[in-house]
């Protein structure tokens, strides 16, 4: 069964369960779609970019972020609550000697509130399996060539835990404001598949 047929079959089953719940009065018509739309409306890569920029300009915030990401993002008005329960967020920071990249090998767990909807490639079986086995080659396919002595750490998200990368601050940005710095940060940089 191809991925498209499998997705269609699962979508059909989900819609069937949703219809049964609506018929029994356990859900209002369209309630699931409304809640998903509300959730996605708040999620944007701009949120993660704000966090990265703050970490670049505020060393104390950076320390709090790396020690307790859920608590630190609350300081900028963000959270990982996303519905039923708060998801654990771990933030990792790239350095001169270490580069981090995020994946969810089981499905596509991802911090939507901070990065917006996940890119198609993040959900692909090719990315999910290959980035664990050969991260350097996968990053090179994204155009990110790391020095041979750079250690690469791959973080595997789960239903309970999400990860976000703080990219290295670009050289020559000392005079930029926090807002200007946030404008340099990309979603791929926050996943770890690109430099900023």
Domain-located, residue 180: yes
Q: Do 185 and 48 touch, CB atoms closer than 8 A?
A: yes
108 is a catalytic site residue: yes
Distance CA 184, CA 93 (A): 16
Q: What is the dihedral of CA 68, 185, 40, 6, to 10 degrees?
A: -100
For 32, the domain range is 1-42
Would the pTM count as exceeding 0.85?
no
* pLDDT-derived band at 82, boundaries 50, 70, 90: low
The single residue of 7, 107, 129, 177 carrying the catalytic annotation is 107
pLDDT per position as a tens digit, 19-76: 888 888 887 887 777 766 665 566 889 999 999 999 999 999 999 999 999 999 999 9
Phi, psi (deg, nearest 5) at residue 58: -130, 95
Same domain, 11 and 98: no
Closest alpha carbon to 122 in 107, 100, 135, 140: 107
95 is a catalytic site residue: no
Domain-located, residue 22: yes
Distance CA 120, CA 35 (A): 22
104 is a catalytic site residue: yes
Task: Provide the CA 127 distance to its chain's centre, in angstroms.
Answer: 14
Same domain, 35 and 101: no
Structural domains counted in the chain: 2
Same domain, 124 and 139: yes
């Amino acid at each position: 069964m191809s991925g498209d047929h499998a997705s269609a079959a699962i979508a059909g089953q989900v819609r069937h369960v949703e219809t049964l719940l609506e018929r029994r009065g356990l859900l209002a018509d369209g309630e699931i779609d409304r809640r998903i739309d509300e959730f996605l409306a708040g999620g944007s890569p701009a949120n993660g970019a704000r966090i990265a920029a703050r970490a670049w300009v505020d060393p104390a915030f950076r320390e709090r972020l790396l020690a307790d990401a859920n608590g630190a993002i609350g300081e900028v008005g963000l959270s990982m609550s996303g519905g039923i329960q708060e998801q654990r967020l771990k933030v990792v920071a790239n350095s001169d000697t270490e580069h981090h990249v995020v994946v969810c090998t089981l499905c596509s767990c991802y911090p939507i509130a901070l990065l917006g909807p996940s890119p198609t490639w993040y959900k692909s079986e090719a990315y999910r399996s290959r980035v664990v086995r050969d991260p350097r080659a996968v990053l090179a396919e994204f155009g990110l060539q790391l020095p041979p002595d750079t250690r690469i750490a791959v973080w595997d998200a789960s239903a309970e835990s999400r990860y976000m990368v703080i990219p290295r601050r670009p050289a020559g940005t000392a005079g930029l404001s926090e807002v200007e710095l946030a404008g340099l940060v990309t979603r791929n940089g926050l996943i770890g598949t690109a430099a900023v």
